[in-house]
Amino acid sequence: DTAVSQTPKYLVTQMGNDKSIKCEQNLGHDTMYWYKQDSKKFLKIMFSYNNKELIINETVPNRFSPKSPDKAHLNLHINSLELGDSAVYFCASSQLAVSTETQYFGPGTRLLVL
């Protein structure tokens, strides 16, 4: 079983559309994250939810809205897609209270905005 899964794996869409990326973890973790791999290949955190509560909210356009229906899911909705949103988006999860706990990453969603 995949520990952290994302759907879809690839997403090609037109500028101006609204799209969602889904993430699910079966590790029983209490915290989930969204990262964006930027044009320079850096992984940068966007959001984090702990027990369905938003705990990290970096400087991200408000067209990006995370939604956590339960601890095992963290979805990313993007409104009015722009060319610059093209990137690889990674979901991750961890057990936050444990300082030595690592974050487990999903396979990534490759988004291409045309």
Burial of 28-50, coded b for 16+ CB within 10 Å and e otherwise, reads ebbbbbbbbeeeeeeeebbbbbb
- Looking at residue 27, what DSSP letter applies? S
Comparing CB distances to other proteins, the nearer of 14 and 28 is 28
| Residues facing residue 47 across a β-bridge | 34, 57
Task: Name the one range near other proteins by CB under 8 A: 18-26, 69-77, 79-87, 103-111.
Answer: 103-111
Pairwise CA distance, residues 18 & 50, whole Å: 25
How many chain residues interact with other proteins (CB under 8 A)?
27
| Binding region for other proteins (CB under 8 A) out of 18-26, 59-67, 79-87, 89-97 | 89-97
Q: What is the contact surface with other proteins in residues (CB under 8 A)?
A: 4, 31, 33, 40-45, 48, 50, 55-56, 90, 94, 96-97, 99-108
